[in-house]
A and B are shown apart, each in its own frame.
Chain A
Amino acid sequence: MAKSYQEINEKIARGEAVVVTAEEVIAIVKERGLKEAAQYVDVVTTATFGPMCSSGAFLNFGHADPPIRMGQITINGVEAYGGLAAVDTYLGATQPSQDKGIEYGGAHVISDLIAGKAVHLLAKSQGTDCYPRKEIDTWVKLEDLNEAYLFNPRNVYQNYNAAINGSSERLYTYMGILQPNMGNITYSTAGELSPLLNDPLLKTIGMGTRIFFGGAQGHVSWMGTQFNSACPRDEKGYPQTPGATLALIGNMKEMNPKYIRGAVYEGYGTSMFVGVGIPIPILNEEMMAFVAVENKDLYTNVIDYSVPKKAKPSLKKVSYAELRSGAVDINGKIIKTSPLSSLKMAREIADELGNWIKKGQFFLQEPIQSFPQGNAIKGLEIKEGESR
C-alpha cells in the first residue's frame, strides 16, 4: 500500500514517523523484506559533506548615507560581483583573495560570515545623481545584512568520477594530489549514503524539495548545472557516470559554520565543503528498493586525470565497496584509494536530519516540479571568425 507525502507528514507531526539513514535501512530491508520494510519505514535520510566548487552567496548590505551604487567590491580582500543593483552582490566560493590567493577565498569569507565574524567591506563607484557616494570602507557581520543566502548552482553530484594519474609527474587537482605512475586513487561520492544515488531517477527530489543545507532547512531550487539525466545507467536505473546535479538555496543566517567550510586544493584553488542532507520519503516499494542499494552495487569510473583533454579515459569501472576497501586492483597493480568527502560528517548530517524529522521540526515538501529525464549535457564548440 502506497503512502502519500501528507500521510508521512502527519506521522511526523504526531512524532510517529519511522526515520532511518540510508545505511541503516539496508539491514532493515534484508530482515523484513521489501514489502514489510516499505510499510514500516517512512523516511530515509541521505547526506554528503564534500567539496562543491559551484557554490556562492547572494548578499544585500543595506544602504549607507549618502548611498553608493557598489561597482568594484571586495570582502576581506575577495572580489564579489558588482553587476547587480546598488548593494546586492554575489560572492563566489572559488574566488581567490587579492592578497592571500587561494589560501583564503570566497568560501572562507562565507564560512567566516556564518561563524559570526566581522568582515571588511570595500566598494567603489563612479557616483551617480541617485547614488552620490564614491567609496565605502566598513566592517559588517552576517546579522547586519538584510539578506544573505547561499545559492549554489551545482551541488550533490550524482556519482562523481574517481581519479588516478597515469603520468610520471605528480598532479595537483580538484580531486586532491594524485601521485605519479598510478600511485593512488581518490573518490568523492558517499556511495550508499549519497543523496542522489538513493533516488536515482529523482522521483522524490525536484524543485522545492526541503533539505538539510549547511545546518539550515533549505530547498532544491532548480536542476543543477550540467544536469545529466541522460547518463548511462544500470538495469535498475543507477547512474554509471556523473549524472544529475542540484541547485540549492538556503538562508545563511540559519546555517552552522561546522557544515560550511572553506577549503584549499593545492595548485588548484579554493573550494567549499557543503553539508547537505536529503530525506527520501518511502512512498512505495519502488522507493524502498531504490534506497536499499549497497556500495557493492554502485559503480563509478577511475578516470586518468593526466590526460589533458575533456574526454579522459576510464581505466576501470569500480564499485564503491571496492573504493571503500582501501585498495583497488588495476591491471594487476594494487592501488591505494582515499576519500575526499567526509563520510564521518555525512553520517552526522544524516543523523541530525533524522532527529529533526523525529522531533517534528522538519517536514517533507513534495516537489512542485520534477526535473527532466534524458537531459544530456553539451560541450563548448570553438568557432572561428565572426559571430554566426
Chain B
Amino acid sequence: MTKKILLSFPQKAAGQPMAMELIKTYHLDFSILKAFIDDNIKGTLLLEIKGSEADIEAGIVYLREHQIGVRDIESVVEVDQAKCVSCGACTAVCAVDALEMTADWSLVHHDDKCLECMLCVKACPMRAIHAII
C-alpha cells in the first residue's frame, strides 16, 4: 500500500538514522514530497511511503518511539467547511478538478487528484483553504 505521512522532528529528535531504519529494518520505499527546516527548531517532512500494511505500521511505531510526530495526510490542503460558502472561486484555479462543484453546487475536494500547487489557498476569498505545510 501507499500512504502519505507528515513527519515533524523536534530538535531533540535530530541526528537519528530515520531514513536508513525505514528502508533497512522496515523495508519501506519512500519519496520525499516536501521538506522544511525551521532554523534548527523543528523539521517537517512530507513522505509518500510504500510497503506492506504491517511494515508501514511498524515503521510508524518506530518513528513515534523516537519522538518524531507522525500524521496521516489525505491531502496537503484542507477545506474548512465552517468557513467555506461554496462560491467556487477556488475551482477557477484548480487545473486538475481536485476542487469542483457538485450537481447541487456544493464544493467538493478530491484528495487523490490534488497536485499540491496551492493556488487554491490564495484564490479562496473566505480563507477557508489551508495548506498543512
Whether A associates with B in a native complex is yes
A residues contacting B by CB (< 8 A) are 49-51, 103, 176-179, 184, 186, 261, 263-266, 271, 273, 326, 336, 338-345, 347
* Complex CA–CA separation, A340 to B124 (angstroms): 10
* Complex CA–CA separation, A151 to B119 (angstroms): 34
State whether the Cβ of B23 lies closer than 8 Å to any Cβ in chain A: no
Contact call A343/B105, Cβ cutoff below 8 A: yes
B residues contacting A by CB (< 8 A) are 85-89, 91-93, 101, 104-106, 119, 122-123, 125-127
Q: What residues of chain A lie closer than 8 Å to B125, measured between beta carbons?
A: 51, 176, 263-265, 271, 273
Q: List 14 A-B contacts (CB under 8 A).
A: A50-B87, A176-B125, A177-B122, A179-B92, A184-B92, A186-B89, A261-B85, A264-B125, A273-B87, A340-B92, A342-B87, A342-B88, A343-B86, A343-B105
Determine chain B's interface SS by DSSP, over half rule: loop
Nearest opposing residue in chain A for B107, CB measure: A344
Contact call B92/A176, Cβ cutoff below 8 A: yes
Contact call A338/B85, Cβ cutoff below 8 A: no
Contact call A344/B86, Cβ cutoff below 8 A: yes
Contact call B85/A266, Cβ cutoff below 8 A: no
CB distance from B89 to the nearest CB of A (A): 5
* Complex CA–CA separation, A103 to B122 (angstroms): 11
* Complex CA–CA separation, A190 to B81 (angstroms): 22
CB distance from A305 to the nearest CB of B (A): 13
Nearest opposing residue in chain A for B124, CB measure: A264
Contact call A177/B88, Cβ cutoff below 8 A: no
Most buried by A among B86, B122, B125, B126: B125
CB distance from A306 to the nearest CB of B (A): 15
Contact call A103/B87, Cβ cutoff below 8 A: no
Contact call B106/A338, Cβ cutoff below 8 A: no
* Complex CA–CA separation, A248 to B126 (angstroms): 23
* Complex CA–CA separation, A115 to B123 (angstroms): 24
Nearest opposing residue in chain A for B121, CB measure: A266
* Complex CA–CA separation, A347 to B119 (angstroms): 28
* Given A184-B92, A338-B92: A345 in contact with B85 (beta carbons within 8 A): yes
Those 5 A-B pairs whose CB atoms lie nearest each other, nearest first: A263-B125, A338-B92, A339-B88, A343-B105, A266-B122
Contact call B92/A49, Cβ cutoff below 8 A: no
Contact call A344/B105, Cβ cutoff below 8 A: yes
Most buried by B among A184, A266, A344, A347: A344
CB distance from A215 to the nearest CB of B (A): 14
Nearest opposing residue in chain B for A51, CB measure: B125
* Complex CA–CA separation, A260 to B48 (angstroms): 41
* Complex CA–CA separation, A179 to B92 (angstroms): 8
CB distance from A363 to the nearest CB of B (A): 29
Q: What residues of chain B lie closer than 8 Å to A271, measured between beta carbons?
A: 125
Contact call B123/A339, Cβ cutoff below 8 A: no
CB distance from A185 to the nearest CB of B (A): 8
Nearest opposing residue in chain A for B127, CB measure: A264
Nearest opposing residue in chain B for A174, CB measure: B125
Q: What residues of chain A lie closer than 8 Å to B92, measured between beta carbons?
A: 176-179, 184, 186, 336, 338, 340
CB distance from A74 to the nearest CB of B (A): 22
Contact call A177/B127, Cβ cutoff below 8 A: no
Contact call A342/B105, Cβ cutoff below 8 A: yes
CB distance from A276 to the nearest CB of B (A): 14
CB distance from A96 to the nearest CB of B (A): 14
Nearest opposing residue in chain B for A185, CB measure: B92
* Complex CA–CA separation, A343 to B87 (angstroms): 7
* Complex CA–CA separation, A179 to B122 (angstroms): 13
Most buried by B among A179, A186, A342: A342
Q: What residues of chain A lie closer than 8 Å to B89, measured between beta carbons?
A: 176-177, 186, 338, 340
Which of B85, B105, B123 makes the CB contact (< 8 A) with A273?
B85
Contact call B119/A340, Cβ cutoff below 8 A: no
Nearest opposing residue in chain B for A103, CB measure: B127
* Complex CA–CA separation, A263 to B104 (angstroms): 23
